[in-house]
Amino acid sequence: MDFNLTEERQMLQDTLRRFLAETDAQDSAVLWAELAELGIIGALFSEEDGGFGGSGFDLSVVFEEIGRAGASVPLLETGVLAGGLIAALGGEGDKTRLEDVIAGTQQLAFAHGEPLARYDLSHVGTTAKSTPDGYVLNGHKSVVMNGGRADTLIVSARTAGGVSDTDGISLFFVEASAVQRRSYQTISGADAAEIYLSDVNLPENALLGPIGGSFDAIETQVARATAALCAEAVGAMESAKGMTIEYLQTRQQFGRPIGKFQALQHRMADVLVEIEQARSATINICGHLTADRALRERHVSAAKNLIGRVGRLVAEECIQMHGGIGMTGEYALAGFAKRMTMIDHQWGDTDHHLERFIALSRG
């Protein structure tokens, strides 16, 4: 198998890496606009949806660079999750929204998680009742990433079935002004929000996709989001590794760099091997995003479990080899460690995906 990037993806990687290294944009809105102008958002969508990429390997190129730079932008929430659902389920009228997304003039969020759902994608307690004019939504969505800044939310709600049934889940376009939002920051500094829906009236055309039949599309987009998170984690690991190697080559003790000590060389070698395993797992998941459901989801859980374990090891080892400065909030390494920790908990942590992989393997 050829693991080299195509010429187009190599250009995308070089362009994005150079831009993120040189930009001085501190405001996330400014950075978002500059990424849109550079065409990066378009790399998340296929040509028929107005983009120029959209495959698993396109996601990995973009998100590894985002992770390497430690950039905080809602590419995952707007492009992969909410935008991906519109691309997968939307009609021609719905897909016109993607033009604004790719142009960077509209941000989206996928409001799906709920307080009691843990990582169960089928757990939806929010209700959508049909009325003569459309639908009325009631419920509470929890830890909605980019939920405090999004212009439009894609909200999952139950139109039939029990609270954990896969059947009966529908998706709706909800303008942010129609809901109550409580915004906050995660430990890695990203935007999140609690979303409260209280008798939110929606017209019939707010429905996205089939009534009661959106679970498969949700699971597919979460698989793509998991692949993107794995790539972002690899980028963050690479930066943490680079900072640590530089520190070991610079910090002097007993008249020589501490990187000369064999014990630290062995620990750094373990980190390098584990990062290569994480990269291989990310390539594997990206190559199986279009496989049948059973095979794809096994690779999703296998990769997410490994990324979580390796991310924790890299963060802990790099901080320890840095000594006290590795713990300081002002030092960039702490930011990468926080992001790797946050990634472990998005869409299922190591324990969840280990159990899920075992269950999927049993068939």
> What is the amino acid identity at position 298?
R
DSSP 135-203: EEEEEEEEEEETTTT-SEEEEEEESSS-TT-STTEEEEEEEGGGSEEEEEE-TTS-EEEEEEEEEEEEE
Q: Who contacts 94 (Cβ-Cβ below 8 Å, separation ≥6)?
A: 86, 173, 208
At residue 43, the pLDDT reads 97
Q: Decide the pairing of beta strands 180-185 and 191-203.
A: antiparallel
At residue 234, the pLDDT reads 98
Region of residue 323 (phi > 0: left; psi between -120 and 50: alpha; otherwise: beta)? left
**CA distance linking residue 80 with residue 89, whole number of Å:** 13
**For the chain, how far is it from start to end, CA to CA, in angstroms?**
28
**CA distance linking residue 229 with residue 188, whole number of Å:** 14
Q: Yes or no: say if 220 and 88 are a contact pair by the CB < 8 Å rule.
A: yes
Q: What CA–CA distances, in Å, run from 113 to 141, 156, 166, 239?
A: 6, 9, 14, 30
Handedness of CA 140, 119, 192, 34 (dihedral sign): negative
Q: Print burial letters for 97-133: b (CB count within 10 Å at least 16), e (below 16).
A: bbeebbebebbbbbbbbbeebebebbbbbbebeeeee
**CA distance linking residue 199 with residue 137, whole number of Å:** 6
**CA distance linking residue 311 with residue 139, whole number of Å:** 34
Which residue in 321, 317, 237 sits closest to 281, CA to CA? 237
In the chain, the domains with their CATH numbers are 7-103 (1.10.540.10), 108-212 (2.40.110.10), 216-361 (1.20.140.10)
Beta bridge partners of 253: 256
Which portions of the chain are predicted below pLDDT 50? none
Q: Yes or no: say if 130 and 159 are a contact pair by the CB < 8 Å rule.
A: yes
**CA distance linking residue 8 with residue 16, whole number of Å:** 12
Kindly give the residue spans of alpha helices, DSSP state H, lying in the chain.
Answer: 7-22, 28-38, 56-69, 83-89, 92-103, 215-250, 262-287, 293-322, 332-345, 350-361
